[in-house]
Chain A
Amino acid sequence: MNQQDQISPQGGQSSGDVAIRVRGLTTGFNGQTVLEALDLDVRKGELLGVVGGSGTGKSVLMRTIIGLNTLQAGSIEVFGQNMQGLGLRARHEIERRWGVLFQDGALFTSLTVAQNVQVPLREQLKGMPQQLMDEIAAFKLSLVGLPPDAGAKFPSELSGGMRKRAGIARALALDPEILFLDEPTAGLDPIGASAFDELIGNLHRALGLTVVMVTHDLDSLHAVCDRIAVLADKRVKLIGTMDDMLQSDHPWTHEYFHGPRSRAAGIGHGG
């Protein structure tokens, strides 16, 4: 199963159940191509895990989809709209419908954690009463498992894991339809990480949230992901369910899902 049998590049299925459709994406830096002719469909309401070796371009793929890297070739459609063809205003409308967690949190260092969560509320939804913003910020921060005294702290006063949680709280501030997470559980303790998986799973279910999650955490992949995409050789080498992964004979994928860590996570035992 080395082909991406789940995807028909001609677009056989209607675009109604696809949240993000990527076709022929090519991008890179100063002559070095990182991703080449990459195709990917993210279905509405699914939780897609993206795995791949370090440096295979997972972060670059995420950044390209959300428009932070320029495309050299190909097209990206979000909610059925081609992102390249859109004017600035229409782009902003779409950007408002997704939330992003960057690999290192990317909080605004001059604002407190709670104020960070309020930034999207304040900037995107004019006229929300301060009291409600305060309450929603507290709600979101508690939702991601931060203690009450964290709200008034500055990002530099938090641990790495706490910063990450705060970053997700900010990504969730506008209750987005799509959530991009770059290694959300890296840097969290195992108990925190599984609570986190549970949280993402809950949000995903309750809100019909579409989640694209770059992760190295096999527990997360096992526990919450509907499908998994493997990035290798500059493209999506394989996409499918955990069972598909276990049956794959692609060397890296086999090694990854059958290695000792996957057995520890209780994944490999059937395959």
Chain B
Amino acid sequence: MDDMSPVAPVAWIKQTSGADGTIISLGGNWVVAATAGLFHETEAIAGRAGESITFDLTDVAVLDTAGAWLVYRTARRLQAQGYVVQTVGSSDDQELMLQQAVDHDVEMDIEPYEDRSFVHWLNELGAKVFRMFDRVFDFLNFFGMVLFAIGRAIVQPRRLRLAATVHQIEIVGVQALSLVGLITFLIGVVIAYQAASVLSDMNAEFMTVDMVTFITLRELGILLAAVMIVGRSGSSFTAQIGAMVMHEEVDAMRSLALDPIEILVVPRVLALLIIMPIMTFFADAVAMFGAILICWIDLGITPAAFIERAREVATGWDVGIGFVKAPVFGMIIALVGCYEGLKVTGSAESVGQQTTRSVVEAIFMILVLDAFFAVFFTTIGI
């Protein structure tokens, strides 16, 4: 091949009438970069009734596979229209290229088949509903397997992956403290500020303390901590495990008679079971700290007065509720994150989909459960 650059290829088509029919002379560089321009020209080539058509390739300098395909598909079309088509003036190499085009003229699907009919849509809808139930059962099944694996680890402590668990505790817990601290502090400040501005209109500034204390201890601390842990750790569980599934690492574990649930899931579940109550306590404390600051600056309630008032209005249960919910939420975050990770299939896209799904599902389940808890605790009167 000479030093021609493929950037600006020059290729041309000339149609002349000879004694024995139409002659189509081709010339220049019939390379892939030129095919976009040549396509419509070749489409326009037509013969005259009763005459034969000859492709003259004498002036073609370079013919690559795409160029050869273009020549071939034109010849094929003309042949199908009933013309006698022949090719002259091609070199041996070009002959070889044309032959490749002939040999590899196949029908091939480009995209997966998609049925767009109404019946198909109904069918899909039904299948979706069934899949949803399937997923619920599948998730419960997974939950059972994890509980079994945890139980087994308690009975046979050598099955407990202590190093992995501690490692997870560091990642999901210790490294998350600064983030959770910052956000809950800010939210504590905001809540106290808003409460103070409304309540001071009614000359009930001291009620700010009651309100902030109840909201923070019962709902805000735990919910903020849970949502942040979902975004930070639940999603990363899914992505990590999903990437491992994609690279057949999980299959490799199974083939080595190792249990992926024991190795991957149990340490993460345990880590969040342990971390979530601590995180909740931390979130409560930092949010209260923010509120104390605002009450002091804005309303002139000293920290000592704030704490005394808070201890009067809050019962032990107000603090305890957060610690009842925390392990449950931690469990849900870890379970959903790991479950969706294990459901990843071959493509990188599916890792992304499953991660989204894991975050959405975990937050949804947490909020629904939180509502249940609220109703439950109110009903039993605490």
Contact = CB atoms under 8 A, between A and B. Distances in A.
B101 interface: yes
Contacts of A212: none
B257 interface: no
A206 B6 contact: no
B36 A207 contact: no
Interface stretch (B146-154, B164-172, B272-280, B340-348): B340-348
Interface residues of A, number: 51
Contacts of B201: none
B200 to A, nearest CB: 56
B32 interface: yes
A155 interface: yes
Contact of B112 (A112, A125, A143, A207): A112
A109 B349 contact: yes
- What interface size band does chain B fall in? 35 or more
B6 A148 contact: no
Interface string A200-224: 0011011110000000000000000
Contacts of B345: 156
A202 B349 CA distance: 36
Interface string A138-159: 1111110000111111111100
Given A110-B348, A148-B106, A156-B345, A132 B39 contact: yes
Interface string B342-363: 0001111100000000000000
A43 interface: no
Contacts of B66: 136, 175
Contact of B32 (A149, A153, A175): A175
Given A121-B32, A154-B347, A206-B96, A137 B69 contact: no
A127 to B, nearest CB: 5
A143 B65 contact: yes
A110 B349 contact: yes
B205 to A, nearest CB: 57
Contacts of B105: 139, 142
A101 interface: no
A197 interface: no
Contacts of B109: 114, 148-149, 151-152
A141 B104 CA distance: 9
A258 interface: no
Contacts of B349: 109-110
B346 A155 contact: yes
A102 B5 CA distance: 25
Contact of A138 (B3, B31, B94, B106): B106
B93 interface: yes
B86 interface: no
B35 A128 contact: yes
A185 interface: no
Contact of B93 (A109, A121, A206): A206
Interface of A: 16, 44-45, 79, 93, 96-97, 109-110, 112, 114-115, 118, 121, 125-129, 132, 134-143, 148-157, 172-175, 177, 202-203, 205-208
* Top 7 closest pairs, chain A to chain B, by CB: A156-B346, A152-B109, A138-B108, A109-B347, A142-B104, A175-B64, A110-B349
